[in-house]
Structure 1
Amino acid sequence: MPPMPPITQALLLVNVAVFCLDLALGGMLSQFMALWPVQGPFFYPWQVVTYAFLHGSFSHLFFNMLGIWMFGSELERIWGGRRYMEFFGASVLTAAATQLVMSLLGGWHNPTVGASGGLFGLLLAFGMMFPNRTIMPLFPPIPMKAKVFVALYGGLELFLGVTGTASGVAHFAHLGGMLGGWLMLRYWRGQPPFGSNGRGGSRRRF
């Protein structure tokens, strides 16, 4: 396999390091770094970024890092480090904004942690750029085209979020990450809602 590109490698290392530090401190980092609802007393502006580096369990960390490695590595090789970071950051921020809005509307008071918003943005981009690439997901272990995998996961997240199934999982944050990734691709391509040509007219197309 080719070497892991530097930004993807850095994301994995930072997430693992923060997880270990949080364990050593008995979960104290969540008080300041997790994404708390805006209507509560623990919200701080920087949490819209720092929440993506915290994880609630080893399995949560493992599957998020596995996904970033699987889908992010190839995207970084194509885009380069700067665009990759822009895209990942946009997905993380949009996921945070979505979760904050839903927490406010739903009266939720629990914090949100995890890089899943950024991962779901990467997943969407992978499906859009390599729609016919055959992948083997862990769940279910059935070969399928990337575009089918993305559509299934997006639909499942919407269903689980609307029905309230699997409580404790930030389904709307996942969808927000996909939305942020989609908007970023549209921006790069100069497509609506950013204009048919406009600022994206001279940009590389993806």
Structure 2
Amino acid sequence: MYALPPVTKALLIALAVAYFAQLLAPDIAIFYFALWPLGEHVIGNGPDGLPFSVGFLPWQILSYGLLHGSFGHLFFNALAIFMFGGSLEQTWGSRRFLTYFVVCVAGAGLIQLVVVTSGITGQGIYPTVGASGGIFGLLLAYAMLFPNRQIMLLIPPIPMKARTFVIVFGAIELLMGVFNTASGVAHFAHLGGMLFGWLVIRYWRGQPPFRPRGPRLVR
């Protein structure tokens, strides 16, 4: 039986625990741990009848990645970690894999923070949840490390090379982010996860826009 590497397993457990905690205390989870735009935003009245406001808190740049909007949202993100995380962790090692995933989640959060705070999505003030930015970072890394491996799509069920898969999905996310910003999906966060993942890999490899880091290149 295939044994998941430790960080991949820990991420799956953390997502499951956070989801059950979210079910038990949904208001606390969303108000304090989802990613809110900069500033103070009144969203209603509290138990005392006074206006209740929410806003960005520093830890939200990571904690939002542990929350999910539905079981389906959680399931597909966890499935992607299961499918791609193990291979990446075995190739990079646990510390580098965890660093990469955290940077992708934080980078996606930063991009989403700018986009939502600026109001260009036209959706008003809303919280962002989900590890999808980190997931898209994993997809990019998988395509860069294993470009010719076959990935079987779920819908439609056709095989596709990893490199082609990422190019197609990246293009779709960009188009949906530009032309379908009211869909309720954080497309720019997904692209942000891919962008920061690409930058991390380029940094590790000593490739532009970064200086060479020595004769040895990493995968």
Q: Give the alignment's TM-score, normalised by structure 2.
A: 0.89
Partner of 1:67: 80
Q: Is the contact made by 2:206 and 2:217 (CA closer than 8 Å) also made in structure 1?
A: no
2:136 counterpart of 1:120: yes
Task: Give 3-state SS (helix, strand or coil) of 1:205's partner.
Answer: coil
Structure 2 distance, partners of 1:27, 1:109, is 16
Q: Percent identity?
A: 54
Contact residue 160 and residue 166 of structure 1 kept, 8 A: no
User: Which amino acid is the alignment partner of residue 171 of structure 1?
Assistant: H
The answer to which structure has the higher strand fraction is 2
1:9-57 CA-partner distances (Å, limit 9, x unpaired): 0001011111011101234211111000113342101100100000010
For the structure 1 residues 26 and 99, does the alpha-carbon distance in structure 2 shift closer, same or farther, using more than 3 Å as the test?
A: closer
Structure 2 stretches lacking a partner, 5+ long: 41-53
How far residue 105 of structure 1 moved from its aligned partner, in angstroms, is 2.1
Matched AA of 2:57: Y
Match in the other structure for 2:192: 176
Whole-angstrom CA distance in 2 between matches of 1:26 and 1:84: 30
Deviations 1:131-159 (A, max 9, x none): 11011021221101001100011000001
Q: Which has the larger radius of gyration?
A: 2
Query: 1:1-206 to 2 correspondence within 5 Å?
Result: 1-40=1-40, 41-106=54-119, 108-164=124-180, 167-195=183-211, 197=212, 200-202=213-215, 204-206=217-219
State the distance in 2 between where 1:189 and 1:146 align.
20
After superposition, the CA RMSD in angstroms is 1.4
Using the TM superposition, name which of 73-82 and 18-27 deviates more: 18-27
* CA separation of 1:203 and 1:43: change in aligned 2, threshold 3 A: farther
**Which residue number corresponds to residue 44 of structure 2?**
none
The DSSP-based 3-state class of the residue aligned with 1:28 is helix
Give the deviation of 1:203 after TM superposition.
5.1
